[in-house]
Amino acid sequence: MRGVAWCLLGVMRTPPADGPDLATVAAARDGDPRALDALAAASLPLVYNIVGRAMNGHPDTDDVVQETMLRAVRGVGELRDPAAFRSWLVAIAIRQVRDSYRDRLARPPAVESDVPVPDFTDQTVERLGLSGQRLETAEATRWLDEEDRPVLALWWQEAAGQLARAELAAGLGISPAHAAVRVARMKERLLTSRTVVHALRRVPQCGAVAVIAAGWNGEPSPLWRKRLARHVRDCPWCLAGSADMIPAERLLGGLPLVAVPAGLAARVLARAAGAFWTPGHPGQPGSLGQSAYPGQPAHPGQSGYSGQYGNPGQQSYAAPGAGQDAPGQGAAGHGTGGIRAARHARHARMLSKGALSVQPKLVAVSVAVVTCAAGGSYAVANTHRAAAPAAITTVAASPHVMRPVPLVTHSARVTPSATHSAKPPASPSKTASPSPTPPKTSPPAVTLTSQRKGVSTWNFTGAPQALAESGASWYYNWGSAPNGITAPSGVSYVPMIWGAASVTDATMAQVRGEGKILLGFNEPDMAGQANMTPAQALALWPKLMATGMTLGSPAVATGAATPGGWLDQFMTGAKQDGYRVDFITVHWYGGDFRTGPAVQELQSYLQSIWDRYHLPIWLTEFALTSYSGGTATFPAEAEQAAFLTAATTMLDGLSYVQRYAWFALPTSSGSGTTGLFDPGPSVTQVGRAFESAR
């Protein structure tokens, strides 16, 4: 019976659908009006589906579709190779999605509305008549991380037979090898989301799920995916029937594109025709809405605009064929209000619970770390941010694993903050005359820097300046490359092998070129993160050792010192197999917002880890965040800042803590008071405390 189901539901992947023929593209490029009309009409459905799924029905979706088509029409005259048209078009679409997201972040918060707004998942289900596992898969896309949406939008069309992998990679502005890693990560989270949706739909529902979701309002989010998955992955009742899940690629194979609404199609095609037929040739000076497009897909890894989705592992993005941003892009009269209320109404159909929609730290980004000499940090006055001469420090070999590779360290330094510098006094007059008493001025604020001190970050407006002002001496972004972040002098980058899908020859070669230290798998004990068993991690560990880099252990979310826990099993296996682990990487989030008890709890946890493994420790995620009660809650900024100051002072006295990393450099809607800098950058109260931390 199962074989029959596979035959009925599992459609084999079809070859990529044929795009506009080369003759049509070439004729449109040369100015043929009929060819241009045909090209625009043939391209619009694909653009609409990619943008719609990437933005999940945001009110600005129609505007982004229209802007994409206008840019394509205006720039087609500069397209050198007609065969590259689809890759070029897809890249413009993703670029516009990312630009729209960046612009939304800069807008003031919109007023909430109670008017229901169907998202793109609703449209897909209703217009394509999805049911069964296809319906569950569509519903599961709502639980993905924001950074997954552009990847999902392109992969969905690849699975449906509309795009080739090379076009997907070109759309993301990365190499095919890196695209494979990004797709694999997204698919892991999609599979986890499918199991969560499956469990929520079970009748009767698991009692434990009902308890966990008691504070949930029914709006899917990465945070609730992670919380629910912690139970679902080990619950026989919730998982019943999940073994028969058909791979998403087979479910999506052969699905048609969602039809473009007639009104939108008419507006877009009319604007596209008008944009092309104006004085001057497209792509030439004098054309309406002039933009310059290179016309060729960018080389993988080409530098340029970096997507604002912040994802760990986000490749530096140069939109193939994209020109300058049009000022004022975005929808006039459209607001982001109503989305939350509308989603609440939608998802109440699946399960009526109560909760806060939170963008979790788990997906947005994890942490960055900072290093210091094993004996602690010290401050040295310095008026420049140039890197201090490097010194070599070695860590004693542990009986648990092989002797670690030496870590590079450098001294702490104190940097006056430019934003607080005093104005120089005016030159004195030659004629002596009484002068008023000069006003009292506060001493300039200083930023402390030590090898311990670092941050996790994704690319955001002002990221390089924020790195410089924070005093961090290193950072990481959950990826294998800096991905467009230009670090200031004296700030180093530490790559990570995020999960099993990252263990490829290409990624291993990439990280070797990024430095001498490598972070291991990210929260492998969590279904929503790397999601690996200790045995799976150990099987891949020799490939990480083969880089010759200093290796950090997998960073578990909880229970690093628990006998028989995930990390304990991994370290025991590493010892038995003679594998090298050079330092222990851990995460910690405190739910007690009182400074003294929180600092003591963190110190006790780190001490227990040291007592168990006797290896240097990197604390790569920490902050005050409480997950009790079903929703993430945060202390006031003053409380968070007080904890940061006290905790870093405590860490400075622990010789076995080599590096720590606060979560995180940028602020975000889901990280409460933990962010150090708003876009711009503009330092927060917590950021001020971090600047003064050693």
| Per-residue pLDDT tens over the stretch 81-133 | 998 999 999 999 999 998 888 777 776 655 444 444 567 888 888 777 778 88
Which one-letter DSSP state was computed for residue 240? T
Residue 435, C-beta contacts closer than 8 angstroms, at least 6 positions apart:
none
- Say which residue the tokens 């003031």 belong to: 108
Rg (CA), the chain: 27
Answer whether 413's CB lies under 8 Å from 447's CB. Answer: no
What is the β-pairing status of strands 453-456 and 446-449?
unpaired
Distance CA 606, CA 620 (A): 12
614: alpha, beta or left, given left = phi > 0 and alpha = psi -120 to 50?
A: left
Length of the chain, in residues: 694
- Are residues 205 and 196 in contact, defined by beta-carbon separation less than 8 angstroms? no
Burial group, residue 604, by CB count within 10 angstroms (0-12, 13-18, 19+): exposed
Chain centroid to Cα 24, Å, comes to: 38
Q: Check residue 503 and give its pLDDT.
A: 95
pLDDT at 312: 35
Helix, strand or coil for residue 500? helix
Question: What is the structure's pLDDT at 362?
Answer: 33
Helical (H) or strand (E) element with 527: none
At 240 the pLDDT is 86
Rounded Cα distance, 333 and 148, in Å? 28
At residue 19, the pLDDT reads: 62
pLDDT of res. 246: 87
Check: CB of residue 418 under 8 Å from CB of residue 481. Answer: no
Q: Which helix (H) or strand (E) holds 584?
A: strand 584-590
Each residue of 503-536: pLDDT tens digit?
999 999 999 999 999 999 999 998 888 999 999 9
Q: How much is the mean pLDDT over the chain?
A: 75
Q: Give me 59's structure tokens.
A: 């009110």
What pLDDT is attached to residue 606? 96
Q: Is the peptide bond before 204 cis (omega within 30 degrees of 0)?
A: yes
**Choices 3.20.20, 3.30.43, 3.40.225, 3.40.390: CATH for 363-415+444-665:** 3.20.20
Domain boundaries, the chain: 2-12+19-324+334-357, 363-415+444-665
pLDDT of residue 271: 81
Phi-psi region of 644 (alpha: psi -120 to 50; beta: other; left: phi over 0): alpha
pLDDT at 15: 38
What pLDDT score was predicted for residue 578? 95
Residue 670 has a pLDDT of 78
Distance of alpha carbon 216 from alpha carbon 632, whole angstroms: 11
pLDDT digit string (tens) for 22-72?
A: 899 999 999 898 898 899 999 999 999 999 999 987 888 999 999 999 999
Residue 320, pLDDT score: 35
DSSP-derived secondary structure for 283-343 = TSTT-TT------SPPPTT--SPBPTT--TTPPB---TT--PPPTT-S-TT--STTHHHHH
Structure confidence at residue 227 (pLDDT): 92
Check residue 115 and give its pLDDT: 44
What pLDDT is stored for residue 118 in this prediction? Answer: 61
Residue 101 dihedral angles phi and psi, to the nearest 5°: -65, -40
The pair of three-digit structure tokens given for residue 344, joined into one six-digit string: 């609440």
Tell me what pLDDT residue 394 has. 32
Q: What is the DSSP string of 343-405?
A: HHHHHTTT----------HHHH-----EE--TT-----B-SS-PPPPPEEE--PPPTTSPPPP
Q: What is the pLDDT of residue 109?
A: 57
In the predicted model, residues of the chain with pLDDT beneath 50 are: 1-17, 111-116, 277-444
